Chains A and B, each alone.
Chain A
Amino acid sequence: MRTQTSLMFLGSTTVNCAKKPNMSKPTGFTLVELLVTIAIIGVLVSLLLPAVQAAREAARRAQCVNGLRQIALAVHNHHDARHVVPVSARTVGLTTQPRIAAMTQLLPYFEEGNLRDRFDLSLNWGHLNNRVVVNTPIAVLNCPSDPEAADRLDGLPELNPFVAEIGAATDYSPTVWVDKRLVSAGLVDRTNSVEGAATDEPGIMEYNNPKASFKLVTDGLSKTILFAESSGRPFLYRQGQKIDTELAVARVNGGGWCRPASDVIVSGFSVDGVVETGPCAINCANGSDIVAAGYPHPYYVTYGTGAPYAFHPGVVNHAFGDGSVRSLSDSLEIREYARLVTRAGGEVAASE
């Protein structure tokens, strides 16, 4: 009605047209229009946000891959210079020999020679004289996808209560053995020994073997894992969940780059990541809880309990013996994974 009258008004006069142009047509948005706009913006943001986050994670992963590649190349440089791969030496028993991690031997080969020069190889990693060196975080060894602080510290495993004061963390560790119990359970293939004489199946950087070299890797360097990501240690993570913020309540034995115990013994986990020795190879847990098991561990004793684990969606990056870095899917079963870890299994590994 009002429209009609105003039209009639406009039609009848020409003088007041400029003065009252919008009497009948109000400016501004209606409620519905506002809601529509908000809804459209909401849709766009909901599409964009995950994409942006995924892009950021992809960038972090690329940096992670780069770190692993640096370490793998460092192992090659070490091999060129010394004709052996660096291995963690864990002399046990009646000896004054110190425990030195492979990573410590590797330092000069990825431009951390100054740290290596300050490290006294005649003393244990936990010795006070080595404290400044081992507490130095190394950027190459830290994966940016890891939510834990790059300068977090590990500690002496035998201390009770545990004190995190020694050993800056690494997110990458060599896969040194496949747990022999997996062979007993038939979860992985027996490769290196006759039945009944169970030994752990060695990876490239086998624990305590100063003669380990690329010559022993008969499965092929491009088909054998050298380093795996094991992120978040010494904090315990299962299926993306941090079990406890207090290391004295739950933790993995391992994590510091200076510690031989940071080397990964592949044991697999139950699907929920709680029990070691199981079908899940990757990303179920970043290790076995040493607090629950008690130190020394009833099976691993003083060896580490870390496991392949990363904070990338669905994959864990692995450096292979040939220096390549590949992402292995967390759907990979322990049998296939063990085939990639053993250096001389003689098995045909699946192309992942």
Chain B
Amino acid sequence: MKAFPSRFPGRFGGLLGLAPAIAIATLLTGCSDPAVERVPTYPVSGTLTHQGRPATGAFVTLHPTTPLANAPTPRGSVAPDGTLRVSTYTANDGAPAGDYVMTVEWYKPTNQGGELIPGPNVIPRKFASPKTSQLRVSVVERENVIPAIRL
């Protein structure tokens, strides 16, 4: 004996439970993005000094000896304390394993009339091109520390 008989017979009740599920499914579809395939990278750090002083702001590029697929060229800027950390995809994530030729440029700000302006590259030109630079770096599958570079 039912005190309050439903207007919907029992077989509809099961369907009703599905309504929130349908709502959630509608919201979730179409939001996924295919992840970009990334090559695994390994931390690379070191120090770079020019004439005994930290080359703050110097720009270092690791040119791969064999082209990297799906990876931009690993690069980094020298921090105020002279340390260098290499980034490929995200900040300071290092570089994919392999052999590299390192190039260094430092557009050192120069003082003109009491004001700093962007200056010319003060590092010898042979270090600016991967064809003439003799700085070699091998990145292996662990934490890499480049021996101190003194230019």
Contact = CB atoms under 8 A, between A and B. Distances in A.
Interface of A: 1-2, 26, 30, 32-33, 35-36, 39-40, 42-43, 46-47, 92-95, 180-181, 184-187, 195-196, 198, 270-272, 274-279, 294, 296-303
Interface string B87-110: 101111100000000010101010
Contact of A296 (B19, B112, B116): B116
A36 B4 contact: no
Q: Which 10 A-B pairs have the closest CB atoms?
A: A298-B57, A94-B113, A274-B91, A93-B112, A93-B113, A39-B19, A279-B72, A272-B90, A43-B23, A185-B61
A20 B46 CA distance: 93
Interface in B1-19: 1, 4, 6-8, 13, 16, 19
Residue among A184, A196, A270, A294 facing the most chain B CB atoms (10 A cut-off):
A184
Given A32-B13, A93-B113, A94-B113, A298 B6 contact: no
Interface of B: 1, 4, 6-8, 13, 16, 19-20, 22-23, 26-27, 56-57, 59, 61, 63, 72-73, 75-77, 80, 87, 89-93, 103, 105, 107, 109, 112-118, 121, 125, 128-129
Contacts of A195: 129
Contact of B118 (A1, A33, A299): A299
A339 to B, nearest CB: 16
Given A36-B16, A302-B115, 13 more contacts: A26-B4, A32-B16, A36-B19, A93-B117, A95-B113, A270-B89, A270-B90, A275-B76, A277-B75, A277-B77, A296-B116, A299-B59, A301-B118
A186 B91 contact: no
Contacts of B8: 32-33, 36
Contact of A42 (B20, B80, B90): B20
A298 B105 contact: no
Residue among B4, B8, B57, B103 facing the most chain A CB atoms (10 A cut-off):
B57
Contacts of B4: 26, 30
A222 B116 CA distance: 36
A184 B61 contact: yes
A40 B63 CA distance: 59
